Amino acid sequence: MSGLEVNKILASIILALIVVKVIGHISDFIVDVDNTEIQQTAYKIEVPESVNDVSGSDSKEEVTEPISLLLASASVDKGQKNFKKCSACHTYNKEGANKVGPNLWNLINSPKAKVEGFAYSKELAEFGGRWGYEELAQFLYKPKEYIKGTKMNFGGLKKVQDRADLVLFLREQSDSPAPLP
């Protein structure tokens, strides 16, 4: 009889081990399922983040406060004074030398990165397009945001009136100034 009881005890121990193992597998399985659910929620959260990108481009609209309406009343004299902030690196006269930055003669409506013999950054050289009034004003607002990777080390002109004055001044630095927008 005692032999039988020992067998029973052994059998129940083995059964208990099996049950523990099986439960372990089942819980692994359940945890796995939870994980995939969590991952799915993580993806679901990423979708509204692209909505945030849209609000990010809202802040770009602040950046592009246009100068066009101000150009008619902007001041070339004030623009020339503002150019002092640029003159450490730029000349604006015809056939003026390149300094740290390229010469800026005949800039408005000209292709970007057009100055022969100036070593532009890859980012500006490949940016494409022309320096229209608004494009130039946007660039001058925050150069490093407008052309990421530009080597123009200048923080930017925060006041829209300053940008309008300076762009109007630069417009004059040409044999045939571009028509006002």
Question: What is the smallest separation between the CB atom of 72 and ligand HEC, expressed in angstroms?
Answer: 20
Closer residue to ligand HEC (CB): 138 or 150? 150
Tell me which residue of 70, 103, 23 sits closest to 181, measured CA to CA: 70
Q: Give CA–CA dist 104/91, Å, rounded.
A: 6
Closer residue to ligand HEC (CB): 8 or 114? 114
The answer to whether 174 and 93 have CB atoms below 8 angstroms apart is no
Closer residue to ligand HEC (CB): 58 or 116? 116
Structure tokens of 14? 């083995």
Closer residue to ligand HEC (CB): 76 or 113? 113
What sign results for the dihedral spanned by CA atoms 13, 17, 18, 20?
positive
Q: Give CA–CA dist 24/30, Å, rounded.
A: 10
Question: What is the smallest separation between the CB atom of 60 and ligand HEC, expressed in angstroms?
Answer: 20
Chain residues that interact with ligand HEC, rule: CB under 6 A: 85-86, 88-90, 100-102, 104, 107, 112-115, 120-121, 123-124, 131, 136, 140, 150-154, 157, 166
Question: What is the smallest separation between the CB atom of 153 and ligand HEC, expressed in angstroms?
Answer: 4
Question: What is the smallest separation between the CB atom of 97 and ligand HEC, expressed in angstroms?
Answer: 13
Q: Give CA–CA dist 111/158, Å, rounded.
A: 25
